[in-house]
Structure 1
Amino acid sequence: MAAAIVPLKLDISGAIHADFGVTETELAALRPSLEYAQKEVLEADAKAYDSKKIPAEKDPLDHGFLDLPDRLLKEYQERRAESELGRIMTAAAKLREQVDRVVILGIGGSYMGAKALMDACCQPYYNELSRAERGGYPRIYFEGNNIDNDASQGLLHLLGTQQGTTPETRWGIVVISKSGETLETAVAFRQFTAALVKSCGGDVKKAAELIIPVMGEKGRLADLSQALGCKEWFPVPDGVGGRFSILSAVGLVPAALMGLDIIRLLQGASLMTKHFREAPAKENAVLQFVGVSHLMETRRMANLRILCMWAKSLECAGLWYDQLLAESLGKRFLGATPLTTVNTRDLHSRAQQHQQGRRDKLFVNVIVDKWRFDSLAVGKSEFDQDKLNDIAAKTLPELMSAAIQGTNEAYAGDGRPTIDLHLPSTDVTVMGQYFQWLMIATVVEGRLLGINPYGQPGVQMYKGAMKRILGR
């Protein structure tokens, strides 16, 4: 029997401040608007999405992410091996039996969620472990997310051009792109496929067996995958935009290759959706977060949202939210600007400005309550020139807790509003909740601002200019 899922905990008390934060009265006054936005997301958006099988490109309504975890879990329960989740687990098991390294090619939402899952849920130095220590799961690398000559060349050099006869000497590719038209990923796929074919002695058919595309049913990548002869592929579902796709095959295929429990990941997300649907506004973590964020932006001009990750393993989970918030709400001269920091590291570079700079920030602390490893003590030493013996019995988690408490006290004393999000751990059920929490919150916040959170028309402008400069 699976263990019960421990829910996230949100504490907004650090943002309650009559002069510099929000007040209980303001939150109470906003509650009807939050409840209306909640209803719109659950009913009006869903109805409009259902009536448009494929949302218009210029005015998308990519509402499909909301019920995606429940749909995938239900299908798995009914069809098991024949379901999408069943096929993902089978394909991942087959590929990891054949290779020791897998390159994930994708950009933006097509890779950031998977990278966030790897950093949060896998051992910190996962790729450095032996195959046995990794449980037989392959090393994972990410490319196709930039046009960086040296990064690409360095990884190609590491992978090599010779495939051996054992899994330890072979590598494969997962390419993620709905259309195949995104330049960074398309170029990388061409280059890495050429290297893979060469490593297979020029045998395209053999190389194709080591490639898993995640894509739309139509488009350049679909055509290319068919031409290569790729036998297994998985869909980027219609009605699910890239930055909302972490809980689709986009994130699930890489997660399965890492050995993560994708069923539990989706169950965590499903629990958050249930909480959003059923919890009253005053106790609803999504609506509480949106309420404080919205009031800070509109009443206090706090247009910088600082996501303070109190664990190195969560940095990419913060960068994932940076994209989600920036592309969803950065429209019509509105929307907070996201910024991820990692503490205590960045307290030594940004704390001064955060503490005494402009009052244009809301600080969101993401705190891990239970660490992966046993607590490591400072330790007593006969060499006490560093003057640490007085805290020799203290552990790193205790030092971290003191840093969090001290920083929050300093911010509170100077009228700097904070929100604390407590993650029970960084396992897959917690991360599933985290992703779904922020995706739903972003859509609700867009409703309050009167912004369609789907689509990213501004991004298309640079792409068009880039094509012109390249003579395309």
Structure 2
Amino acid sequence: MSNSISFSPQAAGFLIEKQYSMLTEHLHAARDEAFADVQLRTSGEEIPEAKQPLDSGFIDLPERLLNGEDDLLENIESAAKSLRDRIDRMVVLGIGGSYMGLRALFEALCDPYHNELSREARGGNPRLYFEGNNLDNDSMSSLLNLLKTQCVDPKELADRWGIVVISKSGGTLETAAAFRIFREALEEYYGADSPEATELVVPVTGETGKLRDLSNARGYQQTFPIPDGVGGRFSVFTAVGLFPAAVLGIDIRALLQGAADMTEWCRTKPAGENPVLDYVATCHLLERDHGMDVRVLSTWGNRLESTGLWYDQLLAESLGKHERGATPLTVVNTRDLHSRGQQHQEGKRDRVISNIIPGDPASSPISLPEAPDGLDQDLLNRIAGKTIPELLQAAIEGTNQAYAEDQRPTTDLKLSKIDAYSMGQLLQLFMLATAIEGRLIGINPYGQPGVEAYKNNMGRILYGS
């Protein structure tokens, strides 16, 4: 087991060793309960009402997949290669946890200008487009128009496109409506009775539900399950995230290995040596003892912004219940230091800032060139030769120092680099931390009653029942 993440709190005098030591027993108990939930879910015992729903299956899922459970991982890789070789544009339809994890992986692990590159420069992988995550008529219309105008010959690989539709129940209106619309466009392009009409649509859904029934009725050649016991926002390491990630050429085995190693680290190491428990303890104590119920995830660099947005949903829907729960907020620095930095530095003392520091860049460091005589009006010649990563590190250190001097607590989650393994570790860390904190504070981290209320009201308004 190796680890690519380190955690260190810079709590600026807010937390003392006594607070940590007094919490340790409760923290370990919450960790043990979260892991015991894995066994309870499959034991056949009656699940207590307070633990329903019990979507703890994500915890050991990476290890089970790597160990060959149901040959699912091999099937995902095989089907992904088949789809990758047949299309040049992939439209992913899903909302919430059905697309946010993939978006985090795509932005972290693929080229920032992936869709602008030639197929060869993309490594033979298709372009990616997201829809079905909102009800934006103009956005949907633009994508439909792009497909219609850019894809003109279904016999040419460069003009071929397919759909991956993701919904556990199939009952989420945003995704269901988008699927009907894009399915009609796809069938019009290839022909409703063509092999492509069923071979280039891949549903990822539950074993039962509206999308499963539709998939069976239409005869789609490949359908992947979303397992029972894994909720949508915890589903990134199911086929929800893994299948489209594999189509994009992402190393899904490295993702799963990172997640499995983080799970083992969390399960076996005590507080003080365990980044999951230490992150939970720091955030919990700052909220409980100092009223800091705003959690700012400060991602340094553009590639992790969608990871922050994914975590926003994870934390908000899991712990935002019963008039409790911290409010998550994602910022991207140094960009947002010029928009939100003032408030974080001198606004209300209600927040803890958690930095995600990306580590070594994937590309060669860019050096600041020296300007010729007479063109140094910006006075940058004095730092000519320094690299962009060096400038970023100075910004991180300078910002943390400013917060510390004003008694503003921060934490640092440091990655060695952004790759598939480290992303597996990071996403699993956040999912484990959320489940454990829920058990620590007595809130079931699974289920989403507030979201169901909006869905029911929306249905009543539209259908009149």
TM range (shorter): over 0.9
Within 5 Å, which residues of 2 pair with 1:59-78? Answer: 59-75=52-68
**Which residue number corresponds to residue 102 of structure 1?**
90
Aligned to 2:57, the other structure's residue is in SS state helix
Select which of 370, 394, 397 maps to 1:405: 397
CA displacement, residues 112-157 of structure 1 (integer Å, 9 cap, x when unaligned): 0000000001111111110001111101111100000011011111
Select which of 227, 244, 247 maps to 1:257: 247
**Which residue number corresponds to residue 411 of structure 2?**
419
The answer to whether the aligner puts 1:27 opposite 2:17 as a matched pair is no
**1:163 CA displacement:** 4.1
Select which of 92, 100, 103 maps to 1:112: 100
Select which of 97, 113, 127 maps to 1:139: 127
Decide whether the 8 Å contact of 2:12 with 2:408 is kept in 1.
no
Aligned to 2:463, the other structure's residue is in SS state coil
Distance in 2 (alpha carbons) for counterparts of 1:312 and 1:405: 18
Distance in 1 (alpha carbons) for counterparts of 2:203 and 2:18: 51
Within 5 Å, which residues of 2 pair with 1:348-367? Answer: 348-367=338-357
Distance in 1 (alpha carbons) for counterparts of 2:237 and 2:199: 25
Within 5 Å, which residues of 2 pair with 1:187-206? Answer: 187-203=177-193, 205-206=195-196
**1:462 CA displacement:** 1.3
Within 5 Å, which residues of 2 pair with 1:176-325? Answer: 176-203=166-193, 205-325=195-315
**Which residue number corresponds to residue 112 of structure 2?**
124
**1:463 CA displacement:** 1.3
**Which residue number corresponds to residue 10 of structure 1?**
7
Deviates more, 1:315-324 or 1:21-30: 21-30
Distance in 2 (alpha carbons) for counterparts of 1:329 and 1:315: 21
Q: Which amino acid letter does the alignment assign opposite residue 7 of structure 2? A: L
Q: Which amino acid letter does the alignment assign opposite residue 229 of structure 2? A: G
Q: Which amino acid letter does the alignment assign opposite residue 26 of structure 2? A: S
Decide whether the 8 Å contact of 1:178 with 1:214 is kept in 2.
yes
Within 5 Å, which residues of 2 pair with 1:381-400? Answer: 381-382=371-372, 383-400=375-392
The answer to whether the aligner puts 1:465 opposite 2:462 as a matched pair is no
Decide whether the 8 Å contact of 1:176 with 1:214 is kept in 2.
yes
Within 5 Å, which residues of 2 pair with 1:129-168? Answer: 129-160=117-148, 162-168=152-158
Unaligned 5+ runs, structure 2 = none
TM-score by length of 2: 0.96
**1:204 CA displacement:** 5.1
Decide whether the 8 Å contact of 1:163 with 1:200 is kept in 2.
no
**1:24 CA displacement:** 1.5
Q: Across the two proteins, how many residue pairs are aligned to each other?
A: 459
Unaligned 5+ runs, structure 1 = 77-81
TM-score by length of 1: 0.94
- Runs ≥4 residues deviating over 6 A: 53-58
**1:22 CA displacement:** 1.5
Distance in 2 (alpha carbons) for counterparts of 1:451 and 1:5: 32
**Which residue number corresponds to residue 79 of structure 1?**
none
Distance in 1 (alpha carbons) for counterparts of 2:307 and 2:323: 26
Percent sequence identity is 53
**1:443 CA displacement:** 0.6
Decide whether the 8 Å contact of 2:50 with 2:444 is kept in 1.
no
Distance in 2 (alpha carbons) for counterparts of 1:5 and 1:276: 13
Q: Which amino acid letter does the alignment assign opposite residue 85 of structure 1? A: L
**1:57 CA displacement:** 12
Decide whether the 8 Å contact of 2:38 with 2:60 is kept in 1.
no
Q: CA distance change for structure 1 residues 310 and 54 in 2, over 3 Å: closer, same or farther?
A: farther
Decide whether the 8 Å contact of 1:162 with 1:200 is kept in 2.
no
Deviates more, 1:276-285 or 1:351-360: 276-285
Q: Which amino acid letter does the alignment assign opposite residue 353 of structure 1? A: Q
Distance in 1 (alpha carbons) for counterparts of 2:141 and 2:267: 48
Decide whether the 8 Å contact of 1:276 with 1:285 is kept in 2.
yes
**1:164 CA displacement:** 2.4
Distance in 1 (alpha carbons) for counterparts of 2:428 and 2:289: 27
Aligned to 1:307, the other structure's residue is in SS state strand
Decide whether the 8 Å contact of 1:16 with 1:417 is kept in 2.
yes
Aligned to 1:238, the other structure's residue is in SS state coil
Distance in 1 (alpha carbons) for counterparts of 2:176 and 2:221: 19
Distance in 1 (alpha carbons) for counterparts of 2:315 and 2:300: 20
